[in-house]
Amino acid sequence: MSNLRKALDGLDWSGWLGAGIVGLIVLAAIFAPLIAPYDPLALNIEDRLAAPDAAHWLGTDQGGRDVLSRIIFGARASLLVGIGAVLIGALIGVSAGIVAAYKGGFGEQIVMRIVDGVASIPLLVWAIAIVGILGVGPLPLGPLLLPNEVKIVVLVGCLFSPVFARVTYAVAKRIAGADYVRARFLQGASHWQIVIGDVLPNCLSPIIVQGTLLVAIGIVIEASISFVGLGVQPPQPSWGTMLSEARSAIYSGEWWLPVFPGLAISLTVIGFNLLGDAVRELFDPRSEARTLVA
């Protein structure tokens, strides 16, 4: 514990800034009903397009809805897609990467060629194309009916899985061929024990680093999908939807409508990127912070 504390003390200000931004966004999303000054769905035509003032700190939109309240509640959709997609992508990708690296053979070639094929096309292109094909309504999946938001989380998670698979495969391939792993097998350890006890723990560091950075990408994908009308559907608040609704405001003088949702996306992405860089520095054996841990 003391070594970890020394490592955290060795991180620079950008890492702490990223952690602070991410922490504030997460807290705002969790406690949105308590923090938001107004109902994000409540229409008030009398206050429509009101500039920022004491009553509405970030102004109101075309329906008189409080922009600050909608930004706070919109954080939920962004974090749901970003964090949820990373968890699903890690579950699928890590499993595929370890199996391909540990088993080898023809199955390894099939898995990695599929991964390379999916990864060759940008994630945003995949997301818009598939969501456009599936539509914005609930997706029937056997006896289940996936809401549009959950469908997007699952979709983006599947698109993230090749990234996790490639990272995991690179580490697991090296670990699986190590002498101490062969010795463990000769001592009678099962394949499952070796994977769980030796291979997977050595893959966790790059997985955590990659996951932190992919959350920011997931937030951008969610905003982009919502911007083109394929994501979170109105009147539910979403940063991408708010930007889409504010396109005409750029030329009519209501500058606060596009500026504040755009700032929310930018700050959140910057926060996760700074946090991801700090986590990478913490786990990188060549970094000063990681040396302190050792």
* Residue 185 confidence (pLDDT) above 80: no
In the structure, what pLDDT confidence band is assigned to residue 290 with cuts at 50, 70 and 90? very low
As to burial, measured by CB atoms within 10 angstroms (0-12 exposed, 13-18 middle, 19+ buried), residue 266 is exposed
Q: How far, in Å, CA of 239 to CA of 227, rounded?
A: 8
SS3 146: strand
For residue 20, the model assigns a pLDDT of: 93
Predicted local confidence at residue 176, as pLDDT:
77
Question: Average pLDDT of 62-90?
Answer: 94
- Report how far residue 154's alpha carbon sits from residue 93's, in angstroms, rounded to the nearest whole number: 13
117/122 Cα distance (integer angstroms): 11
User: What confidence tens digit (pLDDT) does each residue in 87-98 have?
Assistant: 999 999 999 998
> Which phi and psi (to 5°) does residue 228 adopt?
-90, 5
